[in-house]
Chains A and B, each alone.
Chain A
Amino acid sequence: MSTTTDSKIRIQLEDFSVTDEIEAMKKVSRNIGGITTFLGTGRELSKGQNISQLNFEHYPKMAEKKLEEIRVQAIKDFGVIDMSIIHRIGPIDIGENIVLIVAVGEHRGETFKACEWAIAELKRTTPIWKRETTTTGEVWVQDTP
């Protein structure tokens, strides 16, 4: 697992800097005119229960492979210049960063569409699981929206 901003697909324990990730993507092309980001963060309330901590687990290699497929498909289908996807694993506290998608393109339109598609696709196809710790115990979340 890498913590540098060099790789556009990363699954890592460590937190990431949204600013650094955006700056890294801005260097991809001088033709970038629009950037859309999606940042997912740890939420305290889930289905009426107070969550004290989240914990993410992934299937190494397969999860990275799926994220790379999403990146390639987003470039092909939406015409964005590039995309980076970073997902954290391990324990995550409320308010902390979980996942970041940065879509860069010549214009804003394709980056909005690509970013929204990519997070939905990530949740649908990428083997990453979330465990929530609440006052009543721990539960693996299995409802894919």
Chain B
Amino acid sequence: MISLKYFASLKSIAGKDEDSLEIESPITIDQLSDIISKTAPKMGEIIREKKVMISVNQEMASADTVIHDGDEVAFLPPFSGGAK
């Protein structure tokens, strides 16, 4: 099982702030977006179009990152901490 975390604006788009997902074998980010699209089409689209950053186990993921059972995947909209 992998855990999914949504932050800030993505929580209302996904309709949740966290979720979990059973995977039978390691999957890519693209495969994950396909799975998410089935229940949350807009979220899947945002992931595919790379409008969010993705971290796996709190490290930034790249296009070829592979997600394994037990991983924590987080969807991160552009950051806006600090102050101007």
Contacts and interface: CB of A to CB of B under 8 A. Distances in A.
Co-complex (A, B): yes
Contact of A144 (B5, B8, B9, B80): B80
Majority DSSP secondary structure for residues of B touching A: loop
A129 B81 contact: yes
B74 A130 contact: no
A74 to B, nearest CB: 15
Interface residues of B, number: 16
Interface string A72-88: 00000000000000010
Q: How large is the interface on A (under 10, 10 to 19, 20 to 34, 35 or more residues)?
A: 20 to 34
A58 B81 contact: yes
A140 B7 CA distance: 10
Contacts, number: 78
25 contacts: A43-B83, A43-B84, A56-B81, A57-B7, A61-B58, A63-B81, A98-B83, A99-B81, A123-B80, A123-B82, A124-B79, A125-B79, A127-B81, A128-B80, A129-B7, A129-B77, A129-B81, A130-B81, A131-B8, A140-B8, A140-B77, A140-B80, A143-B80, A144-B79, A145-B84
Given A42-B83, A59-B5, 9 more contacts: A40-B82, A56-B81, A57-B7, A126-B81, A127-B76, A128-B79, A142-B77, A142-B78, A142-B80
